[in-house]
Structure 1
Amino acid sequence: MKTLRRIAVALGAAALAASAWAQGVLPGPVVSTQWLADNLDKVQVIEIRNDAKSFTREPEFETTKDGKKVLDEFGGHIPGSRLFLAKELRTQREIAGNKVSYMMPDRATFEKVVQAVGVLADKPIVLVPEGQKISDFNDAARLHILFKAYADTPVALLDGGMVAWLLEGRPWSKDAPAPLTTTWKATADRFASLVADSPDVAAAMEKKDVQLVDTRATSMYLGVFKRDYVYAYGHIPGARNVPLETLFVTRGGAIRLLKPETYRAVFQSLGVDPSKPLITYCNSGNDSSLPWFIAYEILGNQQARNYDGSLHQWTLEKRAMNAPVPAAM
């Protein structure tokens, strides 16, 4: 029954997205800087930052000897955009007696944060990462999951992020966002169809009917080293490794996403069928958010989920791990 309900919810979400894009509100799950510049009046822009001060800091540029414009100091924002702090994407939760960090906020908490940011309920959203490093896009994809789970508003990601916007010489502002608290409400609850928990992952490991996709660096996957908040080396037994570094390129000084056919080939070459059920995971659930976005949104796999607790929670619970090589000392 639980599986059928998830499938039904996923199909409903897919129909909603397809309808929104067919109507020309958003061209797809990823938009270009040119599209955004041409359609700023039709969308609301939300910029995801770790450093709130960068929102009102003036960006600084320099020109290299070969005439290329580079960003020396990141700052500024797209005029009229709203600021969403990345720290609001993570919280601590007690699960089966364990204090699990880095978890997504629950429905009620997310609703309050979105209201405080000043998000409107009736306008499509474009999420803008900083664009300096790939973790910026993971933050944006994590926020995308939450909007997808709790709202019916169409959401897209800006390719290249704010860095691309600045380097292309597009308008920017350093004005502080005007205070705005909205009455935005969570109108849906698709969380279970988009986000996996430990029992889901354990069932996938045992039954082998859902692919487990480890998106960390290969050295962590093999067990050469680990993060300090992960309590065992290696990977979940049966998981395939699709390192995050294979899913983007840096071009023109900004992080760029790839074409669907390229992503499909990357997944397939690493032993993952991107059209079949899969669960992405990493150390804490953040670095697997963009791979989830790629599978679910760009490749249209409505059976893709992201494991929120990831190896932090999995190893807290002392579940099975496979470490093919000895850990580095």
Structure 2
Amino acid sequence: MQDHRYDYLVSTAWLADHIDAPDVVVVDGSWHLPTTERRAATEYREAHIPGAVFLDIDEVADHTSDLPHMLPAPAAFASAVRRLGIGDGQTIVVYDSVGFYSAPRVWWMFRAMGAPRVFVLDGGLPRWLAEGRPVEDGIVRRPARHFTARLDHAMVATKDDVLAALKSGEAVVVDARSSGRFAGTAPEPRKGIRSGHMPGAYNLPYTNLIGPDGSLRSVDALYTAFADAGVDLDKPVITTCGSGVSAAVLNLALRSLGHTSIAIYDGAWAEWGRDPNLPVAGNGEGNS
């Protein structure tokens, strides 16, 4: 099986060699669940990779929606990243402070908006620090750049798309949440959200795709993980999770296997789980 991981990833060594290149921009895309009580913006100000700007997915979002960090309209996205100094023709490298968690979400946002050269730093900030590489504090401000945003609608799924896929079986729905949350035996971190999963969805916790060193696993290991979860890779895939963050880890992993027909259900369980008109399975039943 062909290895496409480094079509979407860069190593810490590569970034160290290219960090001063005028066409490279580094983005701290860290985000944490509210239950962790970690503040990504504060941590960024305390220590970040030199030259990195901070993209807050709760700010660069659709503020007309009451769902968390929904993808904004192209014009709003372009305006936000322009102010960060990110523009057309640049190579964008995204990392996060966990290692491999929210950076793929920011990577997907740029990809969905048409950026052709955007990558995730494999191992993220933890690997960068473990290798003794430098960090700086404060806030980086770059000159504004023009960014052309054109939304690729095929990369974004709605609840109607998910319902249609579950009914027809023409696409596979894969949930990146933990097995406990999927089964309904572990509570949801957001209030007012039912426990369980979409009937007919498959479960592949995103953590199963990340090695002990914080890297995306080998293509053989990724393929085995999807196969063990029951996912038919000959079909289009819709990935989902709690709020559209860890679903992007599955998206990146699938693209690393050469799978290109993939969308993220942006509303995710935050939308599905609170809607009494949408079906829910679980409460310990496992996959339905």
Query: Aligning the two structures, in what range does the TM-score lie when normalised by the shorter sequence?
Result: 0.7 to 0.9
Distance 1:89 1:243, change over 3 A: farther
Q: Look up the equivalent residue of 2:116 and give its one-letter code.
A: T
Match of 1:46 in 2: 27
Which whole-Å deviations, capped at 9, do the CAs of 1:216-235 have from their partners, x for residues lacking one?
Answer: 11111112133134632321
Taking structure 2 as the reference length, what is the TM-score of the superposition? 0.85
Q: Confirm or deny: 8 A CA contact 1:89 1:142 kept in the other structure.
A: no
Q: Distance in 2 between matches of 1:44 and 1:195?
A: 25
Which residue, 200, 203, 225 being the options, matches 1:266? 225
Match of 2:265 in 1: 307
Bigger relative contact order, structure 1 or 2 (CA pairs below 8 A, ≥6 apart): 2
Distance 1:326 1:116, change over 3 A: same
Match of 1:77 in 2: 48
1:195 and 2:156 aligned: yes
Taking structure 1 as the reference length, what is the TM-score of the superposition? 0.75
Distance apart, 1:262 and its partner CA: 0.8
Paired residues, what number? 271
Q: Look up the equivalent residue of 1:120 and give its one-letter code.
A: G
- Larger deviation, residues 198-207 vs 170-179: 170-179
In structure 2, stretches of 5+ residues that fail to align are 32-39
Match of 2:36 in 1: none
Distance apart, 1:47 and its partner CA: 1.6
Which whole-Å deviations, capped at 9, do the CAs of 1:273-294 have from their partners, x for residues lacking one?
Answer: 2342111111222221211121
Match of 2:74 in 1: 107
In structure 1, stretches of 5+ residues that fail to align are 1-20, 58-75
Q: Distance in 2 between matches of 1:278 and 1:245?
A: 18
Distance 1:79 1:232, change over 3 A: closer
Q: Look up the equivalent residue of 2:249 and give its one-letter code.
A: L
Q: Distance in 2 between matches of 1:249 and 1:235?
A: 26
Q: Confirm or deny: 8 A CA contact 2:174 2:201 kept in the other structure.
A: yes
Match of 2:37 in 1: none
Q: Distance in 1 between matches of 2:6 and 2:245?
A: 26
1:120 and 2:87 aligned: yes
Q: Distance in 1 between matches of 2:193 and 2:139?
A: 42
Distance 1:326 1:275, change over 3 A: closer
Which residue, 51, 58, 68 being the options, matches 1:87? 58
Q: Confirm or deny: 8 A CA contact 1:121 1:153 kept in the other structure.
A: no
Q: Look up the equivalent residue of 1:270 and give its one-letter code.
A: A
Match of 1:170 in 2: 133
Distance 1:131 1:231, change over 3 A: closer
Q: Confirm or deny: 8 A CA contact 1:215 1:281 kept in the other structure.
A: yes
Q: Distance in 1 between matches of 2:271 and 2:63?
A: 11
Which whole-Å deviations, capped at 9, do the CAs of 1:189-237 have from their partners, x for residues lacking one?
Answer: 20x2111101100100110111111111111111213313463232111
1:210 and 2:210 aligned: no
Match of 1:238 in 2: 200
Q: Distance in 2 between matches of 1:145 and 1:175?
A: 26
Distance apart, 1:112 and its partner CA: 1.4
Distance 1:224 1:247, change over 3 A: same
SS of the counterpart of 2:67? strand
Q: Distance in 1 between matches of 2:133 and 2:90?
A: 22
Q: Look up the equivalent residue of 1:248 and give its one-letter code.
A: I
Q: Confirm or deny: 8 A CA contact 2:172 2:238 kept in the other structure.
A: yes
Q: Confirm or deny: 8 A CA contact 2:105 2:245 kept in the other structure.
A: yes
Q: Distance in 2 between matches of 1:285 and 1:54?
A: 22
Q: Confirm or deny: 8 A CA contact 1:92 1:101 kept in the other structure.
A: no
Pairing 1:112-191 to 2, within 5 Å after superposition: 112-131=79-98, 137-186=100-149, 188-190=150-152
Distance apart, 1:152 and its partner CA: 3.4
Distance apart, 1:239 and its partner CA: 0.8
Q: Distance in 2 between matches of 1:200 and 1:118?
A: 35
Match of 1:292 in 2: 251
SS of the counterpart of 2:273? helix
Greater percentage in strand: 1
Percent identity, aligned pairs only? 28
Greater percentage in helix: 1
